[in-house]
Amino acid sequence: MSLDVARVRAAFPALDHGVAHFDGPGGAQVPRVVADVVARTLTSGIANRGTVTDAERRADDVVLEARRAVADLLGATPGGVVFGRSMTQLTYDVARALAKEWGPGDEVVVTRLDHDANIRPWVRAAEDAGATVHWAGFDRTTGELDPAEIIDLLTDRTRLVALTAASNLIGTRPDVPAVAAAAHGVGALLYVDGVHLTPHAPVDVRALGADFFACSPYKFFGPHLGALVADPALLGRIPVDKLLPSTDAAPERFELGTLPYELLAGVTATVDFIADLAGGEGDRRARVVQSMTAIEAHEELLFERLLGGLRTLDRVTIHASPDRHTPTTLFSIEGRAPREVYEKLATLAVNAPAGSFYALEASRWMGLGDDGGVRAGLAPYTDDNDVDRLVAGVAEACA
């Protein structure tokens, strides 16, 4: 199935401003239908979840619908969907909870490729428990992460492996199922950061082998919050800190305080929007997969156009060239600081930010320091004209 890009673009009011957005890896633009649902929910008459009043039932329906929507997006179980302030907050919560059962001699594996939100929570939790942290590197030139880099670190004392499904800095998509099989072979859990993968490809958490999969709806056209999926039985076994009156049932036992109902309604609207993008058939899960497959194909073609254009510019260096990747690239211009290029592009109404984007370990590992590079990420609403404007802007920055 193909993507009608003009139809997609018409759904996003922000694009009326004439800006070419390559800042999607940091947060996608939001379609009008999602914003409308958020606003309607805020004014619909809503209360804490319950079954007595219409307002209570409305709130309960919003939460349950959002769990079903995220489950359809990721191939998960609604009862295993946890919502939180952000992916970072959810990861810290899970890390602290799991670490209650760790001690000296236990081991955790993290990678240099990951966003710090899937590194620091585990490092800190391991330190507090007296456990050992092992670091897996990746190829500094290609950006590839060989599963053997992780597998060789596994022992019968490994309790958890943290791995990104796609690098938010350079787009690398590691072989998650291979790592999952090896981790499970030694009795370890696998925590997958799916924040950067979810907007760009169909996701099936079961096929990935992830015990935990975390993502951020605002990266795929939704509101600002985080979502975590896991087996409900696993969520029910983890010791958590909670208030005495709050339920001990999963997934609510992980959700502290009152949920943002309007944002959850926006999440459901976002998944429905994705499901309808390619005009597919079947239930929502089937249509989501069809739409995400079409998005992946559209973005891959555009990405080839972008890389082809950048490679014609003598002073431009593209950092990393992984075989499996999202449509995200990191580049620099000889003699120009990344921030200078970012600011120059902004004057041309082309948004391609610079930095290490919280993938600090990856940027340092590649020799780019804390400054990183200029990142350009494509989205379903990106078109040929946007790409040509970016390439022309980079050429002007080179001059």
Q: What is the CATH number of domain 87-215?
A: 3.40.640.10
Greatest alpha-carbon pair distance for the chain in Å reads 68
CATH 1.10.260 residue window(s) in the chain: 31-86+241-277
pLDDT digits over 150-199, tens only? 999 999 999 999 999 999 999 999 999 999 999 999 999 999 999 999 99
Condensed to tens digits (0 to 9), the pLDDT of residues 325-375 reads 999 999 999 999 999 999 999 999 999 999 999 999 999 999 999 999 999
Token digits for 4?
Answer: 């009608």
At residue 14, the pLDDT reads 98
CATH topology of domain 31-86+241-277: 434 Repressor (Amino-terminal Domain) (1.10.260)
DSSP designation for 256: -
**Which of helix, strand or coil describes residue 147?**
helix
CA distance 122 to 257: 24
Domain limits, CATH 3.90.1150.10, in the chain: 5-30+285-398
pLDDT for 190 equals: 99
* C-alpha to C-alpha distance for 307 and 359, rounded to whole angstroms: 22
The tens digit of pLDDT for each residue in 44-56 reads 999 999 999 999 9
pLDDT in tens, 109-160: 999 999 999 999 999 999 999 999 999 999 999 999 999 999 999 999 999 9
Domain 5-30+285-398, CATH homologous superfamily name and number:
Aspartate Aminotransferase, domain 1 (3.90.1150.10)
Q: Which two tokens stand for residue 338?
A: 């990344």
Query: Could you report how far apart the first and last alpha carbons of the chain are, in Å?
Result: 41
Q: Where in the chain is the domain with CATH 3.40.640.10?
A: 87-215
